[in-house]
Amino acid sequence: MVTTAQPPASSPPSVLGEQRVTLQDVTWQGYQDILQALPETRAARLTFDDGKLEIVMPLELHEQGCELIGLFIRILVVEMGLKLKSIRSTRLERDDLNRGAEPDNAYYIQHQPQVAGRTIDLANDPPPDLVVEVDISHTDIDKNRFYASMGVPEFWRFDGQTWQILTLDGDAYTEVDQSPTFPIIEKADLYAFLEQAYLDEVEAEIDFRQQVRQRLAT
């Protein structure tokens, strides 16, 4: 059973987090052609889901959320003594599934030793252990179905207010209260961290790192 943790009481004002364009009936080759036509330094992120192509231009609120959740994860990894390979928005493609995505953040933690020091190839390598997506505005992509089909074991979603922790159960996700990767934290910890970090990122990092150390010491 999933309980409801309260989101930050002082979260940023409700503003646009992304600009989105969705194209229908796009072929795999069409998707590849669009990727080739776009500059390498582009800010836009593309998700291709079996004929549906969503192009997202992230704005400040989106990018800030991604950055802060990434910091939250890194603190936990370091203090818990885990391994980490961050691939951020590296394109994850499976032509056999007719799907490709550039997630906000993606991490190898449990499988880090298996992929360390080289470029990921999903034809031979496992998917990331954890994928994070921030969607402040509505997305036309069924992200749960999308990442479940790619076999991502743990998927975090954040809409600017609510954090969902999803774990793969067979071929679909189940929402849970605690991350299996970071069982020492509760949802309230991320909400408190974000609320503080929106005002002072450095102070939030120092305080949260100390909280994690105290929990690990008990």
CATH number of 187's domain? 3.90.1570
User: Tokens at residue 121, please?
Assistant: 């190839």
Tell me whether residue 74 is in a domain: yes
Q: Are 68 and 11 in contact (CB under 8 A)?
A: no
CA distance 79 to 74: 8
Per-residue confidence (pLDDT) for residue 186, from 0 to 100: 96
The reported pTM is: 0.91
Tell me whether residue 3 is in a domain: no
**β-strand partners of 58:** 18
- First-to-last alpha carbon distance for the chain, in angstroms, is 27
* Span 29-39, pLDDT tens digits: 999 999 999 98
Tell me whether residue 4 is in a domain: no
Q: How many residues does the chain have?
A: 218
How many other C-beta atoms are found inside a 10 Å radius of the C-beta of residue 161?
Answer: 14
Q: Are 165 and 3 in contact (CB under 8 A)?
A: no
Tell me whether residue 46 is in a domain: no
Beta strands, E only, 14-162: 18-23, 45-49, 52-58, 85-86, 92-94, 99-101, 105-108, 130-134, 154-158
Tell me whether residue 112 is in a domain: yes
CA distance 129 to 194: 23
What is the average pLDDT across 101-126?
97
Per-residue confidence (pLDDT) for residue 49, from 0 to 100: 98
Tell me whether residue 168 is in a domain: yes
Residue 40's pLDDT band (cuts 50, 70, 90): confident
Give how far the C-alpha of residue 151 lies from the chain's centroid of Cα atoms, to the nearest Å.
14
| Number of structural domains the chain divides into | 1
Tell me whether residue 12 is in a domain: no
Per-residue confidence (pLDDT) for residue 9, from 0 to 100: 45
Q: Are 75 and 193 in contact (CB under 8 A)?
A: no
Percent of the chain with pLDDT over 90: 89
How many other C-beta atoms are found inside a 10 Å radius of the C-beta of residue 97?
Answer: 14
Tell me whether residue 5 is in a domain: no
The whole domain housing 137 covers 59-217
